[in-house]
Amino acid sequence: MGLFILRRAGVMLLTALCLTFIVFFLTNLFPNLEKLAKTQGDMRMSDEQVISWLDRNGYLQPLPVKYGQWLGILPGWTLEGDDGSIAGRCISPGMDPADAPRFCGVLQGDWGDSTVFKDEVSSIIGTRLGLTGKLMFWVMVLMVPSALLVGVLAGMREGSKLDRSLSTFSIASTATPEYVSGVIFITLFASSATGLKWFKGTATSAAENATFENFFLPVLTISLYGMGYIARMTRASMTEVMTAQYIRTARLKGVSFRNIVIKHALRNALIAPFTVIMLQFPWLLNGVVIVETLFNYKGFGWTLVQAASNNDIELLLACSVVAVFVVLVTQLISDIGYVFLNPRIRIA
C-alpha cells in the first residue's frame, strides 16, 4: 500500500511538471508575450520597444531557464540598467539588490506577481479558492445526497414507473450544460419576463454575504449537471446489486423490501458511486468556470478566465497547478478509497 501511494505520488509529480511546462510553453510563445508587453506597457509600442520591454523584464531568456527560475531551481535573473540600478526577478521594487534572495520560485514559496490584479499570486489564489470552496461545499451538499437518492430510488425496482421517470430526469440533467440551465434558471426565477423574482441573477454579493436568494441559483446550476451522471451510475450499481444472490436469499427469508434496500443493498451499491463522485471533481471545475462567469461570482474560475484572457503568465501557472493538483489528488483518493470500501480488491 505504501509503495503504491509512493508510486502514484511520483507519477503525480511527473504529470504536474509536464503540465506546468506545457502551460509555461504556451504562455511564453512570442505572440502571447507581445500581447502581454502591449497590455502592460503601451498599446502603440513598436516592435523594437516590445523587444526591449520583454528583455528588461527577463522574458527573452531561453524557455528552460525561465521555467527553472519559476520552479526555483535556477537563480532568478538580474539585470544592470544603464544608470547602474539592478533589477531582477527576485528583487521587488524598493528592495536593496544585495538583500534579495538568489532563488525565488515555487519551491521557495514565491508564486510571483499577477500582472492583471497587481498583487501577489499566492494571496489572490488563496482568497479566490476560499470563495470557490464555499461554492463547491454547497454544491456537494446539494448534489451528492440528491443524486444518491435519485439513483437508489430508480435502481431499487428496475423498469418500474419510478425508475423510468427518474432515469428520464437524470438523462435530461446530463444533457443540459451549465450555460444552458443557468440561462433558463435566470429567465424563470430572476427576470422580469416571468415576474417571479425569487432569486438574484448575479452572485457577486454572495462573496461577502451568501444568502439563499443570491447563492442558490449558481449552486443549483452546477449540481444539476453533475447530478444526472452520479444518479445514473448509482442506479446502474443498485440494479446490479438488487439482482445478486444474497438479496434473493434475503427475500426468500422473508425480509421486508424496505430492510433489504436499506440494510443489505445500499452499502454495496454505494461503492461504485464513491469513485464517480471523486472523479466528478475535475468536471465540476469546468462547471465552476462557466457558472462563475455567468453569475459573476469572483472565485477561482472567474480568476482563471481573467488570467487566461490577459495572458497573466504566473497567475495562469498557479491556476493550472491548483487545477492539476485537484484532478490528481481526487484520482488518488478515489483509488485508495475504493480499496478500503471494497475489501475484494487488493493493490499489490
Chain residues in the site for another protein (CB under 8 A): 11, 15, 18-19, 22-23, 26-27, 29-32, 34-35, 160-162, 165, 171-172, 174-177, 179-180, 183-184, 186-187, 190-193, 201, 282, 285-286, 289-290, 293-294, 301, 304-305, 308-309, 311, 316, 319-320, 323-324, 327-328
Q: How far is the CB of 85 from another protein (least distance, A)?
A: 32
How many separate helices (H) and strands (E) can be counted in the chain? Answer: 14, 4
Q: How far is the CB of 209 from another protein (least distance, A)?
A: 21
CA diameter of the chain: 93
CA distances from 15 to 137, 326, 340 (A): 27, 12, 25
The gap from C-alpha 316 to its chain's centroid, in whole angstroms, comes to: 13
Nearest alpha-carbon partner for 112 in 75, 54, 70 = 70
CB of 41 vs another protein, minimal distance in Å: 17
Min dist CB 262 to another protein, Å, is 15
CB-CB contact of 139 with 104 (8 Å) = no
Closer CB to another protein, residue 88 or residue 295? 295
Nearer residue to another protein within complex by CB, 242 or 323:
323
The least distance separating another protein from the CB of residue 319, rounded to whole angstroms, comes to 7
Q: Which residues have a Cβ under 8 Å from the Cβ of 133 and sit 6 or more positions away?
A: none
Of 4 and 103, CB closest to another protein:
4
Query: Least distance from C-beta 283 to another protein, angstroms?
Result: 9
> Do 326 and 281 form a contact (C-beta atoms < 8 A)?
yes
Q: Which residue, 95 or 345, has its beta carbon nearer to another protein?
A: 345
Which of residues 11 and 86 has its CB atom nearest to another protein in the complex?
Answer: 11
Write the DSSP string, 38-50.
Answer: HHHS-TT--HHHH
Q: How many residues does the chain have?
A: 348
**Contact at 8 Å (CB) between 49 and 43?**
no
* CB distance 98 to 91 below 8 Å: no
DSSP three-state, residue 102 = coil
Which of 90/289 has CB closer to another protein?
289
Which residue's CB is nearer to another protein, number 282 or number 337? 282
Closer by beta carbon to another protein, 118 or else 161: 161
With vertex at residue 167, the alpha carbon angle to CA 243 and CA 281, rounded to the nearest 5 degrees, is 95
> Which secondary-structure segment (H or E) carries 253?
helix 245-253
Shortest spacing between CB 277 and another protein, in angstroms = 17
Pick 167 or 268: Cβ nearer another protein: 167
User: What grid cell was written down for 267?
Assistant: 452499502
The 10 Å Cβ neighbour count of residue 182 is 25
In order of 173, 185, 251, 261, 262, the CA distances from 255 in angstroms are 35, 44, 5, 10, 11
Closest contact distance (angstroms) between CB of 173 and another protein is: 10
Nearest distance, CB of residue 193 and another protein, angstroms: 5
